[in-house]
Structure 1
Amino acid sequence: MGVTVNLPEKESAASAAVPDAEAALAALADCLADDMLACNNEIIARMQSNVPLIPQLAAHLVAAGGKRLRPLLVFAAARVAGYQPGPQAMRHVGVAACVEFIHTATLLHDDVVDNSLLRRGRASANAVFGNKASVLVGDFLFARSFQILTADGSLPVMAILSAASATLAEGEVMQMTTQNDLSTQIDSYLKVIYGKTAALFAAACECGAVIAGADPALREALREYGANLGMAFQIVDDALDYSASQSELGKTVGDDFREGKMTLPVIIAHSEGTEEERAFWLRTIEDCESQTDEDLDRALSLIARTDAISRTLGKAAEFAAKACKALETVPDSPLRTLLMNVALSAERRHR
């Protein structure tokens, strides 16, 4: 039984005018540059410790860069919901730093679990400082996020981010249980990526709405935008693992394959494979230790034969469209347009 994944409709003139992903994110960051500068300063300040290894490893993370997309979503959601920052209104900075700390802590732990050697094109923290240091500094960042939340004092924000943190952990555990399991279905895959990625996108947007004092409908609309944007971004990331260069991906190409992760390109290719092809996936995914150096090329060939990358990107485009749909009830503004462009361009990260 084959897997059905709808292909995106042919681009309209309007969608063709949408900037590529890097340009869309850059435009959003430029619009929120003052907020992001304050957030980066807050992150650096909060990473300080009397234990020298902690700021050393933290400096390695800061130097690695990154889009800081989740803090951007906090700022953008707050502003489109009517928040006006000022000398007496800086809550958004602390909450955004908290969201980034939660995200960074999970990355530190994930790289240890996955034994990843690259992160954003640089040696990962665990490759430089070791697994023990990475896990413990990840714990430190989680603790710092609790301190920030306590200082902020908002029970709704605490509830949102504590629930998101639990969901992140559940997503990683679900991924571990589906790893090396070729019986994994699309529904299970989507639950995994919601947990490991989209939940924090949703929380970032909802926190911004709460900070702004948004009504329940606007708060839910922004949460839905974040959730669907996160789904689109993660699905594209999973496609990139089988189609990008290492410089584009920021990590070793084929890591998901070598680790036996059940992502959408593999689910499609395995589902529609011949008996011989299914035997290949059984040997390489369910029994990763038997992989050879040539197996990744074979996997890429089978994924290409089933058009799995285009179909995976089609699924990402569906979630991006849902993200834009959620914004229709948000008051119109230039910032809302930038948020729509970020969603519409998500699939273009692959081009």
Structure 2
Amino acid sequence: MRGQVHADELAALVGEVAVRLGERWGSGGSLLDAMCAHALVPAGKLFRPILLLESARAVGGDVEVVLPAALGAECGHVASLVHDDIIDGDDLRRGRPSVQHQYGVDNAIVAGDALIFDLFAALAECRLTGASPERIVLALEVVSRCGIDLCRGQSLEAELCRHMDFDVDAYLTMVRLKTAAFFRAACECGALLAGGAEEMVGALGMYAENLGVAFQIHDDLLAYTWTSETTGKPGTSDIRNGRLTLPVLLAHAAADESDRLAIKEVLVGEGDPEPRREILAAILDRTGAVTAAAKVAQRYVRSALGALDALPPTISRERLRGFAEAAIDRDR
């Protein structure tokens, strides 16, 4: 019964986050309000706000204190998606037109920037819900450093793609910087603002980093295991942008010279990306790269679960365990 009560409380909080996100930018009549509302609503899975809320619970804190930060976590995440869609030239996001497709690239850049600033504003709002100023400053530092890591990861990814560098270790570094950073920020901020001890904050950060890497590897696989109708984003984006994802890197390592040449031609080629995706999918199948990448993701999930052992046994810790296991068992 206690577990069900916890689940009901979390569902209610997530519902409140969704409502507040709609209100945050939905009440104004400006173009900026419309763009930010379009990006935020309807909300996605709200996974990062959930991680933040559960991390606060896992250290024995009050989730009401960190609720504004949960809103900020989603604003920051969505800002990165808006900018990603600009970089990748993607017209589809969450099954509908991306901000840059709907409003133009210039406007989308401004909307993404506004959502980043709203992340910091939301963290500051935690002073009104009971977080100490010292804890808020620490959370601001975590988010700032993770934001810089994200930018480093994006830059590293561009460098790897430009040089066609089939380096698995470099890829994993990039993913830790680009994707895992936001997971780490969400978990560490939730624990910090809720008054968690240093060792608990560190454990949740380690959990989140491994979770984030596993999550991204699984994302890499979705382009070859699910349709764009299911995932809500273009299945050919990685092909169009010549992106070196883990299954591609592992296929290149296992392939013969003929398939290695084909992989490069697919990634640098022009024209309709769908036939190129089919060629690459066949190579991934021949080399067993999809299965190999899935096994790497599973190793990171095990590391994430191990990090949680440093936390006291609570329902929140078990839910965090469940999130890690579900990260590599989803279709979007």
User: Taking structure 1 as the reference length, what is the TM-score of the superposition?
Assistant: 0.85
Deviations 1:245-289 (A, max 9, x none): 11222111121122100001111111222222122122222x233
Aligned to 1:298: 279
Structure 1 stretches of 4+ moved >4 Å: 27-31, 48-51, 290-293
Aligned to 1:52: 30
**Structure 2 unaligned spans of 5+:** 127-132
Distance 1:121 1:321 in 2: 32
* Greater relative contact order (Cα < 8 A, sep 6+): 1
Change (3 A) 1:292 1:348: closer
Structure 1 residue 49 displacement after superposition? 7.2
1:327-342 correspondence to structure 2 within 5 Å: 327-342=308-323
For the pair 1:345 / 2:326, whether they are aligned, the reply is yes
For the pair 1:118 / 2:92, whether they are aligned, the reply is yes
Change (3 A) 1:273 1:127: same
Structure 1 residue 350 displacement after superposition? 5.5
Change (3 A) 1:92 1:187: same
Q: In 1, are the aligned partners of 2:180 and 2:211 still within 8 Å (CA)?
A: yes
Matching residue within 211, 232, 239 for 1:250: 232
Percent same amino acid among aligned pairs? 31
Q: Cα RMSD between the aligned structures?
A: 2.2
Distance 1:58 1:29 in 2: 29
Matching residue within 169, 180, 204 for 1:198: 180
1:131-146 correspondence to structure 2 within 5 Å: 131-146=105-120
Q: In 2, are the aligned partners of 1:264 and 1:312 still within 8 Å (CA)?
A: yes
Distance 2:292 2:6 in 1: 28
User: Taking structure 2 as the reference length, what is the TM-score of the superposition?
Assistant: 0.90
Moved more, 92-101 or 141-150: 141-150
Of Structure 1 and Structure 2, the greater helix share is in 2
Q: In 2, are the aligned partners of 1:121 and 1:250 still within 8 Å (CA)?
A: yes
Distance 2:273 2:108 in 1: 30
Distance 1:163 1:314 in 2: 30
Amino acid at match of 1:331: P
**Structure 1 unaligned spans of 5+:** 1-26
Aligned to 1:61: 39
Aligned to 2:249: 267
For the pair 1:226 / 2:208, whether they are aligned, the reply is yes
Aligned to 1:109: 83
Aligned residues: 321
1:24-103 correspondence to structure 2 within 5 Å: 30-47=8-25, 52-85=30-63, 90-103=64-77
